[in-house]
């Protein structure tokens, strides 16, 4: 144990695309930081902004919502709903004092294991630089 800050990152991943990319990275023995806790949803459009806020309130230092590329959503336009909601959510998070970079939205297809590894590695590095999230009302203050 190095004692270095290790961020906790909650990933909300769509079953059909990003979750399959995560599996592919695993079965291909690609290495990525072990800081992620993945929650599978059938479509990124299932992500209620409240899930993200709750994740931050309950100890996450970063949250990633990821799904199929625009035009590839298995439920036609779920990811477009994700896009609209998360644009508003980003503004709300800023108002709550949650720095940019702690929340991210990405489109990662089932074949893009390398992109998954790159995104999650980049996010972990970025959040390490930001340090632990300080949020009023969180139990870890």
Residues lying near ligand FES in the complex (CB under 6 A) are found at: 14, 16-17, 43-45, 67-68, 73-75, 78-79
Q: Is 74 helix (H, G, I), strand (E, B) or coil?
A: coil
Reading the block at residue 26, the tokens are 């695993």
Shortest separation between residue 29's beta carbon and ligand FES, angstroms: 25
Between residues 46 and 98, which has the closer beta carbon with respect to ligand FES? 46
**Nearest-angstrom CA–CA distance, 44 and 65:** 7
Name the phi and psi angles at 115, rounded to 5: -65, -45
CA atoms of 64 and 77, how far apart (whole Å): 19
Length of the chain: 141
44 vs 86 by CB, closer to ligand FES: 44
In this complex, which beta carbon is closest to ligand FES, that of residue 19 or of residue 103?
19
**Residue 87: CB minimum distance to ligand FES, A:** 16
What is the rounded CA–CA span in Å between residue 18 and residue 79? 12
Least distance from ligand FES to the Cβ atom of residue 71, Å: 11
Q: Smallest gap, in angstroms, from Cβ of residue 58 to ligand FES?
A: 24
CB atoms inside a 10 Å sphere around CB 15: 17
Residue nearest to ligand FES (CB): 67
- Please say which residue, 9 or 73, places its beta carbon nearer to ligand FES: 73
Nearer of residues 17 and 93 to ligand FES, judged by Cβ: 17
Give the residues across from 62 on adjacent strands: 9
- Give the span between the Cα atoms of 134 and 95, in whole angstroms: 14
> Shortest distance, CB of residue 124 to ligand FES, whole angstroms?
23
């Amino acid at each position: 144990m190095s004692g270095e800050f290790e961020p906790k990152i909650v990933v909300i991943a769509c079953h059909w695309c990003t979750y399959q990319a995560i599996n592919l990275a695993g079965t291909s023995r690609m290495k990525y930081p072990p800081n992620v806790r993945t929650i599978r949803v059938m479509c990124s459009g299932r992500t209620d902004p409240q899930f993200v806020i709750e994740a931050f309130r309950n100890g996450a230092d970063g949250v990633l919502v990821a799904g199929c590329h625009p035009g590839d959503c298995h439920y036609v336009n779920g990811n477009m709903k994700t896009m609209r909601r998360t644009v508003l959510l980003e503004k709300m998070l800023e108002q709550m004092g949650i720095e940019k970079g702690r929340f991210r939205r990405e489109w990662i297809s089932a074949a893009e294991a390398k992109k998954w590894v790159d995104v999650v590695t980049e996010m972990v590095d970025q959040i390490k630089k930001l340090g632990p999230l300080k949020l009023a009302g969180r139990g870890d203050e």
